[in-house]
């Protein structure tokens, strides 16, 4: 309603709209310093802001990147959104975030919306089953898949950014081994997604390397209600897995949760069973979500360098071609030792 327009600025500054446009687009060399100053003042005085719709209509792109996540209510993705926003702000561009609630139809619709909005590119932290669709989108704008590396490699049109999940799990194993644990378990839901498969692989490789006994506890997803919003499911699965952990044939003295949510669930379950962490049992997660810190005891975990990953993701969108499809984009995880791991009782 009654926003100032470029012509108003031009009139007030006593210059042409062309100069204003040049000013707005940082072509300072094409005007005298005093012109520049006058323009600056006029813009400030009017509170002028270029209309992005018009600009986009003309140039074809918006200074905006899209972000898809399963749900912002999920702590990990909230943090991711934060990191992407921070990264985008460094490029002077906005983020439009959508929760897909893991609904493929909604996912498709939302991608189309983003395209209609002229998004420069799309970062997706939402694991699609329909990768062909993703590839189609990728022909229209750069698509960066966050933490869902392998699924998409085959198409070769999508770049990916991911923590090295194999290394992450290995880091957890090595930490436990160094503490003296000889029998450990990995607790995970059925590893359908490839990042979970990677973590599983890392676990098995590291266990073999260290000569440990490694048991796999598959938490049956039907044991807890699905929850597309906040991922309470993983927490509940972890909690109910605690009993199986204690009853396991290999008598593990430590467990790795496939991620922090699961580890926190395990921690609560163990305590409800009268076990004390880390005195009776060691526990370690992966991701380093905020509540790892708020857990009692503070959860030892393997951190994903989210901000660095987000920076790379946005960079790839702003400068596609810089990275070729399928190239590395693998980030090194970092062990964060807190208080949920200790040497096993002898």
Partner DNA sequence: CTGTTAGCGCCTTCAA
Partner DNA sequence: TTGAAGGCGCTAACAG
Q: Which residues contribute to the site for DNA (CB under 7 A)?
A: 3, 5-7, 10, 14-22, 24-25, 29-33, 35, 50-51, 54-55, 57-60
161 binds, among its own copies, DNA, none (CB under 5 to 8 A by kind): none
229 binds, among DNA, its own copies, none (CB under 5 to 8 A by kind): its own copies
Distance between CA atoms of residues 340 and 88, nearest Å: 35
Locus of tokens 């446009």:
21
40 binds, among DNA, its own copies, none (CB under 5 to 8 A by kind): none
Closest distance of CB 276 from its own copies, Å:
11
Closest distance of CB 31 from DNA, Å:
3
Closest distance of CB 119 from DNA, Å:
15
Closest distance of CB 11 from DNA, Å:
9
The 8-class DSSP code of residue 16 comes to -
| Residues 141-160 close enough to bind its own copies by CB under 8 A | 141
Helix, strand, coil abundance in the chain, percent, nearest 5:
45, 15, 35
The backbone torsions φ and ψ at residue 173, rounded to the nearest 5 degrees and listed phi first, read -60, -45
* Identity of the residue, 45 or 276, whose beta carbon is nearer to DNA in the bound complex: 45
115 binds, among DNA, its own copies, none (CB under 5 to 8 A by kind): its own copies
- Whose CA is closest to 48, among 21, 69, 27, 30? 21
* Identity of the residue, 2 or 222, whose beta carbon is nearer to its own copies in the bound complex: 2
User: Which contacts qualify for 228-234: CB closer than 8 Å, 24 or more apart?
Assistant: 228/70, 228/71, 228/101, 228/102, 228/103, 229/71, 229/73, 229/74, 229/101, 230/71, 230/73, 230/74, 231/70, 231/71, 231/73, 231/74, 231/75, 231/261, 234/189, 234/258, 234/259, 234/261, 234/262, 234/265
| Residues 7-46 close enough to bind its own copies by CB under 8 A | none
Helix ranges restricted to H, the chain: 6-13, 17-24, 33-46, 52-59, 75-90, 104-116, 131-138, 149-153, 165-179, 194-210, 232-247, 260-272, 291-294, 306-318
Distance between CA atoms of residues 240 and 238, nearest Å: 5
3 is a site residue for its own copies (CB under 8 A): yes
Q: Of 15-23, 170-178, 261-269, 278-286, which segment contacts its own copies by CB under 8 A? A: 261-269
Distance between CA atoms of residues 245 and 158, nearest Å: 39
Q: Which sign, positive or negative, has the C-alpha torsion 258, 264, 268, 271?
A: positive
223 is a site residue for its own copies (CB under 8 A): no
Closest distance of CB 141 from DNA, Å:
15
164 is a site residue for its own copies (CB under 8 A): no
Q: Of 77-85, 175-183, 206-214, 328-336, which segment contacts its own copies by CB under 8 A? A: 77-85
Q: Of 76-84, 188-196, 241-249, 329-337, which segment contacts its own copies by CB under 8 A? A: 76-84
25 binds, among DNA, its own copies, none (CB under 5 to 8 A by kind): DNA
Distance between CA atoms of residues 346 and 342, nearest Å: 12
Closest distance of CB 111 from DNA, Å:
17
> Which residues of this chain interact with its own copies, rule CB under 8 A?
1, 3, 49-54, 56-57, 62, 71-75, 77-79, 81-82, 85-86, 94-99, 112-113, 115-118, 139-141, 229-230, 232, 235, 261, 264-265, 267-268, 271-272, 290-291, 293-294, 296
């Amino acid at each position: 309603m009654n926003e100032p327009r470029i012509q108003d600025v031009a009139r007030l500054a006593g210059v042409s709209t062309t100069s204003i446009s040049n000013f707005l687009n940082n072509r300072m060399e094409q005007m005298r310093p005093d012109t520049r100053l006058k323009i600056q003042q006029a813009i400030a005085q009017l509170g002028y802001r270029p209309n992005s719709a018009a600009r986009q209509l003309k140039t074809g792109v918006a200074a905006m990147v899209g972000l898809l996540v399963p749900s912002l209510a999920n702590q990990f993705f909230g943090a991711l959104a934060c990191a992407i926003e921070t990264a985008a702000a460094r490029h002077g561009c906005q983020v439009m975030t959508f929760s897909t609630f893991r609904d493929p139809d909604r996912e498709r619709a939302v991608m189309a919306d983003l395209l209609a909005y002229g998004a420069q590119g799309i970062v997706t932290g939402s694991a699609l089953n329909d990768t062909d669709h993703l590839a189609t989108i990728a022909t229209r704008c750069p698509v960066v898949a966050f933490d869902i590396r392998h699924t998409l490699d085959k198409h070769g049109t999508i770049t990916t950014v991911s923590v090295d999940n194999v290394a992450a799990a290995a880091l957890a194993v090595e930490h436990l081994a160094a503490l003296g644990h000889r029998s450990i378990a990995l607790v995970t839901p059925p590893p359908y997604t490839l990042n979970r498969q990677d973590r599983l692989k890392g676990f098995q490789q590291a266990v073999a390397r260290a000569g440990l006994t490694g048991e796999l506890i598959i938490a049956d997803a039907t044991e807890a209600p699905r929850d597309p919003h906040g991922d309470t499911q993983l927490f509940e699965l972890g909690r109910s897995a605690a009993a199986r952990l204690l009853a396991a044939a290999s008598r593990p003295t430590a467990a790795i949760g496939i991620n922090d949510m699961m580890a926190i669930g395990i921690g609560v379950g163990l305590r409800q069973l009268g076990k004390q962490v880390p005195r009776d049992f060691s526990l370690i997660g992966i991701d380093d979500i905020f509540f790892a810190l708020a857990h009692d005891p503070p959860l030892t975990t393997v951190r994903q360098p989210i901000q660095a990953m987000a920076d790379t993701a946005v960079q790839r969108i702003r400068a596609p071609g810089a990275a070729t499809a399928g190239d590395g984009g693998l980030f090194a995880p970092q062990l964060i030792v807190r208080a949920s791991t200790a040497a096993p009782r002898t």
